[in-house]
Amino acid sequence: MGSLFDLGGQVAVVTGSSRGIGKAIAWHMAQHGAEVVISSRRQEACEEAAAEINTATGRKAAVAKAANISSKAELQALADFALATFGKVTALVCNAATNPYFGPMSGLADEQFVKILMNNVVSNHWLIQMLAPQMLERGEGSVTIISSIGGLKGSDVIGAYNVSKAADLQLARNLSVEYGPRGVRVNCICPGLVRTDFARALWENPDILKAATAGSSLKRIGEPDEIAGMAVFLASRAGAFTTGQGMVIDGGATIA
């Protein structure tokens, strides 16, 4: 039968993959046999991450292509690069996101709210529309959007970010309905608090960290590798009957 988690023959594009959760996802996808396109804003950072993966796997499993998710033209260049390099993309992971504001929504500037929605929702829509057609033509593929447990609850400090992550969950549901009959699955992963630079404002503050982990079952913060396994699952044969879902990985933070 082969491994349920074998990604041999697959090509994955992972945004925001030069560090944090995105890098862990790209690394583990490559370890499971996929070819991976590393992408973030800086080409140098992408190349460094790709080199690390290639050294770890002992093969040229990763290539680098910088793209700013706020630019539709750069995302199109990323999609074109991936297809020109590998001939196909079988797994898209929309991981890159923005949160330029920390505080109550009453203090949120219009330009900050627009930036959050554009980068965290609209940019995902753009890249999916660029890469989904060739998946649909073949009748197979997967799209995974990194949402957040923030999309499932309210907050007095990251409310606008939570709005965007709730929208990502609905984007996945809508597209799973549209794409499912043609063999393409769309899901979200909803991490809890994970030790990344992106979430530093939440876990570096001892009081916020204590409050964030006090109600969780595991009583601790998560690590990027602990999110990556779900991305491998969703792209693999193991996840072939999973679509339209928001897979919560939060150490039990949302169950109580």
- The answer to the question of residue 207 being in a domain is no
Percent of the chain with pLDDT over 90: 89
User: pLDDT band at 250, cuts 50/70/90?
Assistant: very high
How confident is the model at residue 20, as a pLDDT?
Answer: 95
Total-model pTM: 0.95
Instruction: Give the pLDDT confidence of 61-81 residue by residue, as tens digits.
Output: 999 999 999 999 999 999 999
Q: What is the mean pLDDT of residues 237-251?
A: 98
Secondary structure of the chain in the HEC alphabet?
CCCCCCCCCCEEEEECCCCHHHHHHHHHHHHCCCEEEEECCCHHHHHHHHHHHHHHHCCCCEEECCCCCCCHHHHHHHHHHHHHHHCCCCEEEECCCCCCCCECHHHCCHHHHHHHHHHHHHHHHHHHHHHHHHHHHHCCEEEEEECCHHHHCCCCCEHHHHHHHHHHHHHHHHHHHHHHHHCEEEEEEEECCECCCCCHHHHCCHHHHHHHHHCCCCCCCECCHHHHHHHHHHHCHHHCCCCCCEEEECCCCCCC
- Domain count across the chain: 1
How confident is the model at residue 195, as a pLDDT?
Answer: 86
- The answer to the question of residue 212 being in a domain is no
- The answer to the question of residue 205 being in a domain is no
- The answer to the question of residue 69 being in a domain is yes
How confident is the model at residue 201, as a pLDDT?
Answer: 67
- The answer to the question of residue 256 being in a domain is no
How confident is the model at residue 196, as a pLDDT?
Answer: 83
- The answer to the question of residue 209 being in a domain is no
- The answer to the question of residue 128 being in a domain is yes
- The answer to the question of residue 151 being in a domain is yes
Instruction: Give the pLDDT confidence of 137-160 residue by residue, as tens digits.
Output: 999 999 999 999 999 999 998 999
How confident is the model at residue 2, as a pLDDT?
Answer: 61
Which CATH number belongs to the domain containing residue 77 in this structure?
3.40.50.720
Count of other CB atoms within 10 angstroms of residue 220: 12
Enumerate the β-bridge partners of residue 94: 145
Mean pLDDT, all residues of the chain: 95
The residue segments making up the domain with residue 30 are 11-196+224-249
The residues assigned a catalytic role are: 161
Instruction: Give the pLDDT confidence of 106-125 residue by residue, as tens digits.
Output: 999 999 999 999 999 999 99
